[in-house]
Structure 1
Amino acid sequence: MNTRRALAFIFCTVALDVLALGVMIPVLPTIVLGFMGGDTAGAAEMFGVFATVWALMQFLCSPLLGALSDRYGRRPVILISCLGLGLDYVFMALAPSLALLLVGRVISGITSATIGTSFAYIADVTRPVERAKAFGLVGTAFGLGFVAGPAIGGLLGGVDPRLPFWVSAVACLANAAFGWFVLPESLPPEKRMPFSWKRANPVGSLRLLASHRQLLGLAVVDFLGSFAHQVLPSVFVLYAGHRYGWGETTVGLTLAFVGICTAAVQGLLVGPIVGRLGSRLALVAGLLAGALGMSIYGLAPTGPWFWAGVPVMAFWGLAGPALQDMMSRRVGPSEQGQLQGANSASRSIAGLASPGVFAALFALSLDRLPGAAFLLAGLLLVAAAAVAWIATARTRPAAPVP
């Protein structure tokens, strides 16, 4: 197998998935508002429904796709998901009603669950000593998609609000065609696991995380980190506008700065730092850096102080690849898909619960401590670091769970 070529395709797949989601951020609310006849309050409520439905589909379908990849291999699941996502963007570009646009978001939530399978593919084709670096490169793809997606969506949406959907469709369909020719299968037949609905449903998949004490502790770390991360999409725009008077341009440039710094850390520094410190110390250091960055965000009295926290926060990017590396070592080859599906389901729960918590705290503390939501996120990351340190104490190189 040409591992480098396969990883290049996985990098492109994740980048295009995130890019395709990002280009819709500036235009989807406008389209929803048009269907609602200009009713801004109603459009805001409906947009919340869209976000909840998308996260719910991720929760339900990530374990299913993970289990299917353990049974039939990673290649067909990834390629079918890329194809389905591309066709779904065509469907949404043509959707003549709000109901059909919502159906498109349901399909998008299902097909976008392929990211977990991509992580399982990386675990299949990389040696344990190289795995954290490979996961870091995929994190770079997230950062690049996060930076470029909304910018491209805003430019294309200025021409036609439906144009970003067509561009996303072309990108995803082209990636599926490219993968058909270059992506080899990573999971040999002798390492595959029979399909079981007990493992393919969200509750059943989460049982895998409880099968090993250290794995359960790392799963708690992943959940707390995912919960804390939701503070940015939940309150950042409102917080920046209220405290610093930032408009759309400054907010967009700040988010681009965040994405660039995160991509730089994950693409350039994860491999050397994990190689020197080990995954355990890199995980704890990344979580504590994230906690410090959140504290700077929450206490920064001016915009430049907030920007000073961005490079600090970027080192939180060490935690994800190190965590994925440690978790992937604690399951066998035939369970990598189930593991990633369970992780995606856990993150979806965090994504469903956290926005309401952070938004409510922001509203309650607006006059006295407007950055309270970021301080809470920082406390969650400190707790995650403590759990990680305790859960991985006195460990030898872990053997896969039978």
Structure 2
Amino acid sequence: MLACVLLDALGIGLIIPVLPRLIGTLTNSPDEQTLWYGAVMVSYGLMQFFFAPLIGALSDRIGRRPVLLAGIAGLALMMIVPAVTTSVELLLLSRIAGGALSSNIVVAQAYIADVTPADRRTAAFGRIGAIFGIAFVLGPALGGLLGEYDPRLPFAVAAVICLLNFLYGLFVLPESLTTPDTTPIPWRRMHPFGALAELGRERALVPALAIVVLYTLSQSVVQCTWALYTEFRYGWTPQAIGFSIFALGLSITFTQGWLLPKAARRLSPKRIVTIGLLVGLLALLGMGLSTSGPLAALLMCAFALMGIVGPTVQGLVSRTGDATRQGVRMGAVSSLNSFTGAVSPLIGTPLIFYAGRQDPSALAAGLPYFLAALLLVAALLTALASKFDDGAS
């Protein structure tokens, strides 16, 4: 399963540093580029928001493997179209279709929950994050290098990786769900609002879900603005952006592959979440204040230490659920992540629009990151006031 996740994430990582540049070649001005980039990011996140619970519920019913293969096919579609089209509208449509099909992280998390004892799932979910970190070490660096020659080339390479991933899933990956949920899928589990309402009835999880919204929204604002922010404020090229994400990937791999398992054995979930949010808050404030590109990149790596929060919250949600409903529960949490991914460009695009017109040394140039820091303040206060702590796990 982790090999499948690696190939999936590697394909996504390849296109991160070049997507803004490709959109720029299909538009007529920086303002138009920014608006279309925001639309592309919003559409993908919205489709994942609406489809993640359905995909999770289907994987509970028919198995993880067939749903995963359909998701890989959706991701391939999202890569092939940008590699060949000259229309920004078709690029947007490919993101809409790809977002509807490619909620593979939901199935991966449910797969891990199927094969991992409940008390080890926080570390197991962290390993998924570490795999994404490895992919973000390799993918954006390679994508940045390829993008220097042609911004379409990374999409073509990503499409080939999707094909390899599909073949791996088809011929190698075993099914993990031994006891499928044979009951009909009720409508409330097929849309995000019903799935989230079902989780929300577990009162102990409400603070954890609130933290997910706040911290992932903060994270998404950073992610959706980083490429344009560094291009506008520091004059970075796709190669420089790719190498900054390379460094970020190393930090994610270290955080979730090495640091989180050790923290999970020694600290309570509440303490892990609190420490992670505090580190993320301090890093964001530094990024917003920094007029130096290299310093901002170092702080971005420190920001990755906040990655201990997500798997810890996912572990809490997973441990309280029935073994045959892991897909829909992970789908509900993933829909929150996707919702913030859809909303963040609506917030980040006008902020980057404004910040890009400021003098790079001005305080206002860091506005997107000051807002992201404010969201973490709210998440930190929620964590401190919560009672979801169940002791070290």
- Confirm or deny: 8 A CA contact 1:215 1:330 kept in the other structure: no
Distance 1:348 1:186, change over 3 A: same
The answer on 1:134 being equivalent to 2:124 is yes
Partner letter of residue 132 of structure 2? F
Q: 2: CA distance between counterparts of 1:385 and 1:175?
A: 38
**Quick one: percent identity of the two aligned structures?**
37
Matches within 5 A, 1:199-238: 199-237=189-227
- Indicate conservation of the 8 Å contact 1:192/1:334, yes or no: no
The one-letter code sitting in structure 2 at the alignment partner of 1:133 is A
Alignment RMSD (CA, Å): 3.0
Q: 1:192 to 1:136 in 2, by over 3 A?
A: farther
User: Which segment is superposed worse, 160-169 or 195-204?
Assistant: 160-169
- C-alpha distance in structure 2 between counterparts of 1:125 and 1:349, whole Å: 28
Name whichever of 378-387 and 201-210 sits farther off.
378-387
Deviations 1:40-79 (A, max 9, x none): 5444433332222212211121111011112112121112
Q: 1:296 aligns with which of 286, 299, 323?
A: 286
Specify the alignment match of 1:13 in structure 2. Answer: 4
2:344 is the alignment partner of 1:379:
no
Q: Distance in 2 between matches of 1:392 and 1:348?
A: 26
Alignment of 1:348 onto 2:343: no
TM-score scaled by length of structure 2: 0.87
Please say if residues 70 and 193 of structure 1, whose CA atoms lie closer than 8 Å, have aligned partners that are also in contact: no
Q: Secondary structure at the match of 2:276?
A: helix
CA contact (8 A) 1:298 1:371 kept: yes
Q: Residue 116 of structure 1 is aligned with which of 102, 106, 124? A: 106
TM-score by length of 1: 0.85
Matching residue of 2:365: 370
Mean Cα displacement is larger for which, 203-212 or 179-188? 179-188
The verdict on how the C-alpha distance between 1:383 and 1:200 changes in structure 2, with shifts beyond 3 A counting, is: same
Unaligned 5+ segments in structure 1 are 1-8
- 1:117 Cα offset (Å): 1.4
Once the two structures are TM-superposed, the CA of residue 30 in structure 1 deviates from its matched residue by 5.0
Contact kept in structure 2, 1:132 and 1:324, CA below 8 Å: yes
1:337 paired to 2:327: yes
> Out of 270, 277, 280, which is 1:280 matched to?
270
State the secondary structure of the residue aligned to 1:53. Answer: helix
| Secondary structure of residue in 1 paired with 2:373 | helix
- 1:147 alignment counterpart: 137
Which range is displaced more, 335-344 or 268-277?
335-344
* C-alpha spacing 1:56/1:307, structure 2 compared with 1 (3 Å): closer
What is the CA–CA distance in structure 1 between the aligned matches of 2:391 and 2:365, rounded to whole Å? 44
3-state SS of paired residue (1:371): helix
Q: Distance in 2 between matches of 1:72 and 1:12?
A: 22
More moved, 168-177 vs 295-304: 295-304
Matching residue of 1:177: 167
Say whether the 8 Å CA contact 1:199–1:338 is kept in structure 2. Answer: yes
Confirm or deny that 1:196 pairs with 2:186.
yes
CA distance 1:253–1:174, shift in 2 (3 Å): closer
Instruction: Confirm whether residue 105 of structure 1 aligns to residue 95 of structure 2.
Output: yes
- Aligned to 1:61, what secondary structure does the other structure show? helix
Q: Deviations over 1:294-326 (max 9, x none)?
A: 122223454454355345323212111111111
User: Would you say 1:315 and 2:305 are equivalent positions?
Assistant: yes
Query: In the aligned structure 1, how far is the partner of 2:45 from the partner of 2:378?
Result: 25
Aligned AA for 1:392?
Answer: K
8 Å contact 2:287–2:369 — kept in the other structure? yes
Q: CA deviation at 1:18?
A: 2.6
Q: Which amino acid is 2:338 matched to? A: S
Structure 2: where are the runs of 5+ without partners? none
Q: Tell me whether 1:388 sits opposite 2:378 in the alignment.
A: no
Change (3 A) 1:41 1:240: closer
